[in-house]
Structure 1
């Protein structure tokens, strides 16, 4: 058996049959399989590793593509992991473990500071240092409940078009959110344009002074049915209010409006007498929350942080293992930028963490007191105080589904 990196043009006959079997209705018609070649441009810079038998048959595959992610205000290179699939007769033989370890190591060596994925089962990827992130919520309501917004005199304007025609401005809005929203991530341009090329969505957008301040892509299934939106993206309350006003105008066309919002959104407060259903459903392997991990602690140098100083020993990880000193400044300074260095001796509070433990703290999804309860490390009380100050709780919003 051997491991090798795949060339893009090989995908239709090597990895895509495995991935199709794992994630799509199968078997696929031969004519549909041939059409997959049209998707090659959307994968041209993906890094795909495969393990092959001596005869050349592909037994397993793992892919990563170059993304960017906002981590506490700093945009870092992120490896988005996807397409993890194994031949049905070669499962549970350690192939994915081998491939994923090599892939993450290669991506780290190329400068990717963090990685994220959507797991088929969280416990499997927790062994690779990934920590769970919150899943966005699905919100559903009747447009009739937004009637009070119809006559509201709001500044700004609404625009409605096919996503193909508004794609550039929409992409610009996501770039703006990438710079301001913790956890927000973006796929590379060559992959993101699939939304434009499919052109199977409407785009409703809110504008103020010539700038897009909110947008949602959506489809309508039938008259009297549901307007199903993707992620509701806004830079503030005005953009959201304008888009809700747009939905209110569909009162005589659809019975329900549905869309995706970040986990920290509060739809029950959007309008008076809004009967809204907010849901986040986890089911394996079909409806999962994302996970992320830190691939390089050194790459976090300069990250926004609170005050604090602590030594952390990262254990049981091939990428981040070692002793580090994390310094966010003295309490009187109010904190600022994290300094990461190799730890030396001295009377500094010390915590022992797994890769998943430090990742959960960096992303802000666990308090230091929760880390040992989850089996992700040992955090004495004095170290917990420093870590809590360095990495306050935060709510990451991954956005891109891949």
Structure 2
């Protein structure tokens, strides 16, 4: 079996796999012809056929499982790096529990390595499933449910103007997003991504409104409304503002729906954003902390050498990496860091390691999702002594990553 780019003539079978995996309640004849962002979306098929089979000779009947990835560029430790976002992992019932998904992911990671993509991300259907393959949680997010009138406490006095936005406003929206989304793991959004993913929805297109001051767009909110006349919910998919004033104006916009909806749900706020603290009655809101997307290092030497570390960080140690899926990562590496850069070389199994780390934990350290101190209290990171722990902590400083994209 082997992984191949999906031929266009196999797209219908591909859709059937996805529909059954993610929307079985719609039945076998359901179809949605709307495609994801064509600029960055790369579907793949895992075929039960010899690897050297010409594309024109591949048969859709030989598809066993499918996946895709978005060719993102994201900020990692303050700089832009490739971050393919894996999506659409699906297999039909006859092909399940045969190891096909694991083998397909192995092939996909090998493709990423061969094409210079040293870090990857995904949203799991089940966290334990993907932990087995080396992915680990990158960030949490907060889901806040609040009656709209309670937002009066965090809403601004009327100023500026609210305007309806559509996909042709993508450049203005991108300017707001780029100014506001300065955190690690923020994605450098393309026109296609904004048009296809922000302004379109699988079950219907959302509303999008922006707040302007003197014609300058300063923030926007994307949302939909569900329910009926008896009970409605306004669900915010994304709220982005360049400053506190714009954010307060967007809360005013949401508050002014108090005659229409019973609750407002902000479904994917940063965990560090504490809307509840600004409410007059914090008990009126419910905040749920949810696990977010997962990340995985594809190629340890390439990933560590690609990013920039603090200028005063220093270490020279042997790091043993455990990776059950990627044999090129399994083993010991000499890691030397100085002047903000790392050099990494394999040293085989002869040198005694100063620290031993599981690939998912190393991925979290790389993006700053967990601290050395926190991971050293688990069985995922073992450190020989305090000096080594201090050296690692100087390199892998904890940050506040937030990958907000759904894919």
| Same fold? TM cut 0.5 | yes
The equivalent residue for 1:391 is 396
Kept after mapping to 2: 8 A contact 1:364/1:395: yes
Cα deviation for residue 69 of structure 1 reads 1.5
SS of the aligned residue for 1:92 comes to: coil
Q: Identify if the C-alpha distance between structure 1 residues 108 and 3 changes in structure 2 by more than 3 Å, giving closer, same or farther.
A: closer
Cα deviations across residues 105-156 of structure 1 (Å, max 9, x unaligned)? Answer: 11222122311001122222223221112332111212222335667366xx
Q: Identify if the C-alpha distance between structure 1 residues 326 and 183 changes in structure 2 by more than 3 Å, giving closer, same or farther.
A: farther
The equivalent residue for 1:284 is none
Q: Distance in 1 between matches of 2:200 and 2:71?
A: 20
Unaligned runs of 5+ in 2: 51-58
Cα deviation for residue 210 of structure 1 reads 5.3
The equivalent residue for 1:291 is 294
| TM-score when normalising by structure 1 | 0.83
Cα deviation for residue 5 of structure 1 reads 2.4
Unaligned runs of 5+ in 1: 282-287, 330-336
Q: Identify if the C-alpha distance between structure 1 residues 4 and 348 changes in structure 2 by more than 3 Å, giving closer, same or farther.
A: closer
The equivalent residue for 1:120 is 125
1:48 counterpart = 2:44? yes
Q: Distance in 2 between matches of 1:310 and 1:291?
A: 28
Kept after mapping to 1: 8 A contact 2:209/2:221: yes
1:235 counterpart = 2:239? no
Q: Distance in 1 between matches of 2:380 and 2:246?
A: 40
The equivalent residue for 2:69 is 64
Out of 277, 286, 295, the position equivalent to 1:277 is: 286
Cα deviation for residue 188 of structure 1 reads 4.9
SS of the aligned residue for 2:94 comes to: coil
Q: Identify if the C-alpha distance between structure 1 residues 42 and 159 changes in structure 2 by more than 3 Å, giving closer, same or farther.
A: same
The equivalent residue for 1:340 is 343
**Which runs of structure 2 are paired with 1:167-178 in the superposition (5 Å)?**
167-178=170-181
Cα deviation for residue 181 of structure 1 reads 1.0
Kept after mapping to 1: 8 A contact 2:171/2:191: no
Cα deviation for residue 76 of structure 1 reads 1.0
The equivalent residue for 1:141 is 146
SS of the aligned residue for 2:24 comes to: coil
Out of 78, 95, 100, the position equivalent to 2:83 is: 78
The equivalent residue for 2:337 is 327
1:16 counterpart = 2:15? yes
Q: Distance in 1 between matches of 2:115 and 2:210?
A: 37
Cα deviation for residue 99 of structure 1 reads 1.0
Q: Distance in 2 between matches of 1:264 and 1:225?
A: 28
Cα deviations across residues 267-289 of structure 1 (Å, max 9, x unaligned)? Answer: 122343453211135xxxxxx63
Aligned residues: 381
The equivalent residue for 1:371 is 375
1:308 counterpart = 2:314? yes
Cα deviation for residue 261 of structure 1 reads 0.7
Kept after mapping to 2: 8 A contact 1:310/1:349: no
Cα deviations across residues 79-121 of structure 1 (Å, max 9, x unaligned)? Answer: 1111111221221211111111111111222122311001122
Q: Distance in 2 between matches of 1:192 and 1:326?
A: 40
1:380 counterpart = 2:380? no
Cα deviation for residue 309 of structure 1 reads 1.3
